[in-house]
Amino acid sequence: MSGETNLKTIIQTLSPILNDGEFVYCTVPDFDFVPVQQIIFMFREKEEITTVLRKEDALQLNLTFSYIAAWITLEVNSSLSAVGLTAEFSQALSKEGISCNVVAAFHHDHIFVDVTDREKAMIVLQNLQLQ
C-alpha cells in the first residue's frame, strides 16, 4: 500500500489546501442522476445515495440541500492504513467549535467544513502542522 504511515510525519506535512467554491450534500435516486463531471463524491447508503457537488451544480439540477461547505484537501499522501490522522485533525477542529465531515480517498483526505468556518479551519490545520 502506498502513502505515509508515520503519524508524526503525516501531521508535519499535512499541507491543507482550500478548494475554490462552495459545496453541498444532496441525495439522489440513482447514480445516473448527476452528470459524472459534476460529482465530487458519491456514496450509496441503505436509504439513498449521497452526493457532494458544487452548489451551483446542485442549483442547476434543482437538488435540495441545507448544508453549504468548504472543501479542504490535505495534500499529504497518507496511507489508508495510517492510524490517528482523522482523530488528530478532527480533535483540533473540534476544540475550535468546527464541525468536519471527512472523506478518505486513495491519495488524500478531504475535509468538508461549514463555509463560514473555512478560514478558521485552515488556520487550525496549518497550526496543527506546525506543532
Q: What pTM was computed for the model?
A: 0.92
Please name each of the domains of the chain with its CATH number: 7-130 (3.30.2130.10)
User: Alpha-carbon distance 26 to 129, whole Å?
Assistant: 32
pLDDT < 50 stretches in the chain: none
CB atoms within 10 A of CB 29: 8
Residue range 85-123, pLDDT digits in tens:
999 999 999 999 999 999 999 889 999 999 999 999 999
Question: Cell numbers at residue 9, please?
Answer: 510525519
